[in-house]
């Protein structure tokens, strides 16, 4: 009688490789969890306690608009002084001709155009005219982004380097989307030695603001203090 040969299993299932893979996967998971917990703990921000103060006397405000993640220099004070040149000789009756003449000067800077307008108030006892400045951004001129201002060649950096921190202070008007941009720009300005302030940007553009004959502001305005 022939012996039936036992059929032997030629192969064995070795789980060592699977064990290595699983151990590796667990290691990666642990690393991800640890990294995530560290991230979730939060970012520590050291913040100087801000306090609103009047700007130093004798200094000029330089205003920057941080809007839609772009920063633009709004040289309103220079534009106003150019537009209102000769205003001291202007009476109620020649306001319209003065405004027309000022607008012909075509005052503008790189980002904005500046024009004048006027409004007449009259009643049986008095007549008054107010002069307004209208600030219109150039549609096709983009401001600088967060990435742009970090470069040495950025317009913002070159501008603040050309200004004297003892004679100027910087004010930012910031909208909801541009907080990070504002903080970077502020950091650069502070490094240069400027006093800096900020306010939320709540004025729409084109912007119209009374500059002559308004009887002063009611309440504290925006962009007027350092922090």
Partner 1 sequence: MAKVRLSEERMVSLFPMFNILTCLLGSLIFILGGIIIISLGVGRSVVIAPIQSTGKKPIYLEWNGKEIVIHPQKNIVPLSINIEKFQSLKNFYADLDRQFNNTAFGKLLKRINRKKQYFVVIVRPSGFKNFIFFRNYILDHKKIDVGYEPIEQNYTLRIRQ
**Strand duo 127-137 + 112-122: pairing:** antiparallel
Q: At residue 66, what are phi and psi to the nearest 5 degrees?
A: -105, 100
Query: Directed axis angle between helix 155-162 and helix 179-192, to 10°?
Result: 30
- 106 in contact with partner 1 (CB under 8 A): no
Nearer to partner 1, 20 or 161 (CB): 20
Nearer to partner 1, 45 or 124 (CB): 45
- Which residues are bridge partners to 61 per DSSP? 169
- 36 in contact with partner 1 (CB under 8 A): yes
> Taking the complex as a whole, how short is the minimal distance between the CB of residue 50 and partner 1, in angstroms?
3
- The answer to whether residues 226 and 52 touch, using CB atoms and an 8 Å cutoff, is yes
Q: Which stretch binds partner 1 (CB under 8 A): 77-85, 147-155, 157-165, 192-200?
A: 192-200
- 56 in contact with partner 1 (CB under 8 A): no
Q: How far is CA 125 from the centre of its chain?
A: 46
Which parts of 168-187 interact with partner 1 (CB under 8 A)? 174-177, 179-180, 182
User: What does the alpha-carbon distance between residue 26 and residue 9 come to, in Å, rounded to a whole number?
Assistant: 33
Nearest Cα neighbor of 129 from 93, 161, 179, 157 is 93
**Two tokens, residue 223:** 């962009």
Q: Which of 2, 7, 46, 89 binds partner 1 (CB under 8 A)?
A: 46
Neighbours of 158 (CB within 10 A): 10
- 31 in contact with partner 1 (CB under 8 A): no
- 141 in contact with partner 1 (CB under 8 A): no
User: What does the alpha-carbon distance between residue 148 and residue 162 come to, in Å, rounded to a whole number?
Assistant: 18
Q: Which stretch binds partner 1 (CB under 8 A): 10-18, 73-81, 111-119, 148-156?
A: 10-18
User: What does the alpha-carbon distance between residue 80 and residue 107 come to, in Å, rounded to a whole number?
Assistant: 9
Q: Which of 2, 123, 191, 202 binds partner 1 (CB under 8 A)?
A: 202
> Taking the complex as a whole, how short is the minimal distance between the CB of residue 128 and partner 1, in angstroms?
20
Strand order in the sheet with 70-74: 70-74, 60-67, 168-174, 196-200
> Taking the complex as a whole, how short is the minimal distance between the CB of residue 227 and partner 1, in angstroms?
6
Q: Which stretch binds partner 1 (CB under 8 A): 84-92, 117-125, 147-155, 219-227?
A: 219-227
> Taking the complex as a whole, how short is the minimal distance between the CB of residue 20 and partner 1, in angstroms?
9
Angle at alpha carbon of residue 165, lines to 219 and 45, rounded to 5° = 75
Under the rule (CB under 8 A), what is the footprint of partner 1? 3, 15-16, 18-19, 22-23, 25-26, 29-30, 32-33, 36-37, 39-52, 174-177, 179-180, 182, 198-202, 218-220, 222, 227
């Amino acid at each position: 009688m022939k012996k039936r040969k036992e059929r032997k299993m030629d192969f064995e299932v070795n789980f060592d490789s699977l064990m290595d893979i699983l151990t590796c996967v667990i290691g990666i998971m642990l690393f991800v969890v640890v990294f995530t917990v560290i991230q979730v703990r939060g970012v520590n921000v050291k913040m100087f306690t801000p306090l609103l103060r009047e700007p130093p006397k004798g200094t000029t405000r330089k205003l920057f608009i941080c809007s839609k993640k772009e920063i633009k220099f709004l040289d309103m004070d220079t534009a106003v002084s150019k537009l209102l040149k000769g205003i001291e000789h202007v009476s109620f009756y020649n306001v319209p001709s003065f405004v027309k003449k000022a607008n012909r000067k075509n005052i503008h800077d790189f980002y904005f155009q500046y024009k004048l307008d006027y409004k007449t108030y009259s009643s049986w006892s008095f007549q008054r005219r107010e002069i307004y400045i209208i600030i219109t951004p150039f549609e096709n001129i983009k401001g600088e982004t967060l990435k742009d201002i970090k470069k040495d060649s950025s317009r913002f950096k070159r501008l603040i380097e050309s200004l004297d921190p003892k004679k100027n202070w910087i004010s930012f008007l910031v909208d909801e989307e541009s907080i990070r941009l504002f903080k970077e720009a502020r950091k650069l300005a502070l490094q240069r030695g400027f006093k800096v302030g900020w306010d939320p940007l709540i004025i729409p553009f084109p912007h119209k603001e009374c500059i002559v004959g308004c009887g002063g502001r009611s309440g504290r305005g925006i962009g007027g203090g350092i922090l």
